[in-house]
Structure 1
Amino acid sequence: MADFPKIMHTAIDTTDCRGLAEFYRQFLGAHYRPGDEPPTDGTPDDADWLVLVDDDGRRLLAFQQVDRLERTTWPEHDVPMQMHLDLSVPSSEELERHRGRAEALGATLVLDRSDDEDEPLYVLADPSGHPFCICVI
């Protein structure tokens, strides 16, 4: 018997399930859970729940299709952030490289603290508007 529950994955709402899963799959170098891959036989991709896993098959993120999603207005608080992911990189050079990769995949820059001496970081929004941070740790 387990003493405590374990986090299985973080589920993220989106109006474009496959599109957001693809963004994070490419950005994180993740893989689809077996059976969640895009169809290759010409059938419509009507996925409403997708899971990404790491190289060892451990769940990372899940994506849930919703009809409507109001984008956060952070850093204003009219529509709160509600959740965000924090990702770490080992150097300022890697911070710049991964910011460029994220933007090339469709992310937008929300906050630039890359010149912070204690913890350089960028806050970006994924294609569905969910904020995520890339920090030098």
Structure 2
Amino acid sequence: MARAATTTDAFNAVAEPRRRDILDALARGERSVNDLVEQLGVAQPVVSKHLRVLREVGLVQVRDEGRQRIYRLEPAPLRQVFEWVKDYERLWTERFERLDAVLEDLKAEQAQADRQGSRPATSKTTDEERTS
């Protein structure tokens, strides 16, 4: 079965971890291919291949500067991804709130157990303690 083209939209393009790494690097500013190769520690043909995909879906723009090609992030196509993921934020928030409640209960139980464990067992003294 043939793989779906990765150049159809931003969703497919950002599905590849190496392309996300490139986008992260470009989010901090313009970079040449050589800068990206050095920063990511990957071969130049691999970086160029991923940049081509990102360019085709409109996630990066390129300009020539002397003998170098300088790439910059074009964030507009990520808006569609953001809008889709944003709908799931409510679910994450609810789950984190439930987790926070469970953790608070556990901390309270631990604190209570610690307090009980650090109290003197009884106020009774033994015969041995009285004679010493």
Question: What is the TM-score with the length of structure 2 in the denominator?
Answer: 0.26
Structure showing greater relative contact order (alpha-carbon pairs closer than 8 Å, 6 or more residues apart)? 1
Return the index of the structure with the highest Cα Rg: 2
As a proportion of its length, which structure holds more strand? 1
Task: Identify, as 1 or 2, the structure richer in helix.
Answer: 2
